[in-house]
Amino acid sequence: MRDPFYTLAIETSCDETAVALLRNQTDLLSNLVYSQAKIHARTGGVVPEVASRDHLRKLPYLVDEALAEAGISLEEISLIAVTYGPGLIGPLLVGLSHGKGMAFGLGVPLIGVNHLEGHLFAHRLHAPHFEPPFMALIVSGGHTSLVAVDAYGSYRSIGATVDDAAGEALDKVGKMMGIDYPAGAEIDRLASLGDPSAIRFPRPTVTAAGFDFSFAGLKTSVLYYLKDHRRQRREDVLASFLESVVDVLATRAVDATRRYHLERLVVVGGVAANTRLRGVLTERAASRGIEVMFPPSALCTDNAAMISAAGAFRYLEMGESHDLSLTAVPGLHLA
Ligand code: KG4
Ligand code: ZN
């Protein structure tokens, strides 16, 4: 192994173009994220073709900038890590093709990273000593999953959403209420000004015993509520809706941690940036004797730092790499 070992990582699975540079396994040298949010706000959601073109436009500049910020030359790179799924096929292919080109051109290994495993590694970057086993709640715009992490690289799926992801439900309710895509951060802010007990929205369950999630019905409840209550304060509706999402996530996550006899819970993904979720879950976990950890918000939402950490781990600790035939897998699973 080269010492120091430099991983350059690329993330383009959805609407963030991101590049990071990592020294060894947890020493982050640069972490650049360019969000396409403004472009997609115009259409109220991500148009894949538009996203692909913008990744293509921006990626080379971000790579140069990340190297300059880290003070590393191209020749010093030891590994290229790139997200190859899950995500949108076009955006994934832009990042993957760029990563393959760099690996080939520089004569260094390539490692494809599962975006969901990447989210988990945001935790390892932030708290390398808080090791598995633990329960993980991965809660983002595309996924809502409970995963038992026996070790890094060894996962058991405990529950997942059967319809909308939590972030997707937040974004859709935001759209109904005139908030630009992606709505999560703005809902976070507005809800903090409202009364979470103003309206009692349902707490949807899929089966009483299981750990799956369903948010589509809750979203429809908000839609019907808004039709009948046009004058209700927006902050109160959002606070009450968010309370329902947070209650469901916190209850299932804590119950699953207990059921699987784990003492630790790690929460990652874009929605893990939510202030209310952090507050409620911290309190509930503590009352049940569970230690809960959230990476800083900037590592929760999509970034390439997490991809660099996952890629470096897979290559250095598990001896994995991919050849140039690696292709994008939009529906890639974690477990
Ligand atoms: O992990 P992420 O950046 O992308 C995916 O992999 O999907 O998650 C994006 C999701 C969006 O739905 C966005 O609205 C939500 O995370 N989000 C938040 C917050 N910041 C981003 N949701 C609630 N509160 C936030 N502060
Ligand atoms: Zn993500």
Over the stretch 219-274, which tens digit does the pLDDT of each residue have? Answer: 999 999 999 998 899 999 999 999 999 999 999 999 999 999 999 999 999 999 99
pLDDT at 153: 97
In this structure, which ligand is nearest to the CA of 187? 1
Ligand 1 touching residue 184 (CB < 6 A):
yes
Q: Which amino acid is at 82?
A: V
pLDDT over 80 at 44, yes or no: yes
CB proximity list for 199: less than 8 A, separation 6 or greater: 225, 232, 236, 237, 240, 241
Once rounded to an integer, what is the mean pLDDT over residues 198-205? 93
Among 3.40.50.720, 3.40.640.10, 3.30.70.20, 3.30.420.40, what is the CATH number of 6-119+300-318?
3.30.420.40
Q: Which of 311, 307, 317 has the alpha carbon at shortest distance from 79?
A: 311
pLDDT band at 152 (very low <50, low <70, confident <90, very high): very high
pLDDT at 101: 98
pLDDT at 315: 98
**What sign does the CA torsion over 292, 296, 297, 301 have?**
negative
Ligand 1 touching residue 171 (CB < 6 A):
yes
Comparing 6-119+300-318 with 132-294, is the CATH topology the same?
A: yes
pLDDT at 85: 98
pLDDT at 208: 74
Task: State what percent of residues in the chain have pLDDT above 90.
Answer: 94
**Torsion angle of the four alpha carbons 235, 236, 239, 242, in this order, in degrees rounded to the nearest 10:** -110
pLDDT over 80 at 1, yes or no: no
pLDDT over 80 at 209, yes or no: no
Instruction: Find out whether 285 and 312 touch, Cβ atoms under 8 Å.
Output: no
Distance 302 CA to ligand 2 centre (A): 5
Q: Where are the domains of the chain?
A: 6-119+300-318, 132-294
Pick the range with the lowest mean pLDDT from 17-21, 162-166, 183-187, 227-231.
227-231
pLDDT at 24: 97
In this structure, which ligand is nearest to the CA of 270? 1
Closest ligand 1 atom, residue 115 Cα: 6
pLDDT at 163: 95
Q: Which of 110, 88, 92 has the alpha carbon at shortest distance from 101?
A: 110
Instruction: Provide the token pair at 90.
Output: 């076009």
Closest ligand 1 atom, residue 165 Cα: 12
Question: 301, 306, 307, 334: which to mutate for ligand 1, most atoms within 8 A of CB?
Answer: 301
pLDDT at 72: 96
Ligand 1 touching residue 182 (CB < 6 A):
yes
Cis peptide before 296 (omega within 30 of 0): no
pLDDT over 90 at 206, yes or no: no
The three-state DSSP-derived secondary structure of the chain is CCCCCEEEEEECCCCEEEEEEEECCCEEEEEEEEECHHHHHCCCCCCHHHHHHHHHHHHHHHHHHHHHHHCCCHHHCCEEEEEEECCCHHHHHHHHHHHHHHHHHHCCCEEEEEHHHHHHHHHHHHCCCCCCCEEEEEECCCCEEEEEEEECCEEEEEEEECCCCHHHHHHHHHHHCCCCCCCHHHHHHHHCCCCCCCCCCCCCCCCCCCCCECCHHHHHHHHHHHHHCCCCCHHHHHHHHHHHHHHHHHHHHHHHHHHCCCCEEEEECHHHHCHHHHHHHHHHHHHCCCEEECCCHHHHCCCCHHHHHHHHHHHHHHCCCECCCCCCCCCCCCC
Q: Which CATH architecture has domain 132-294?
A: 2-Layer Sandwich (3.30)
Distance 79 CA to ligand 1 centre (A): 28
pLDDT over 90 at 207, yes or no: no
> Looking at the whole model, is its pTM more than 0.85?
yes
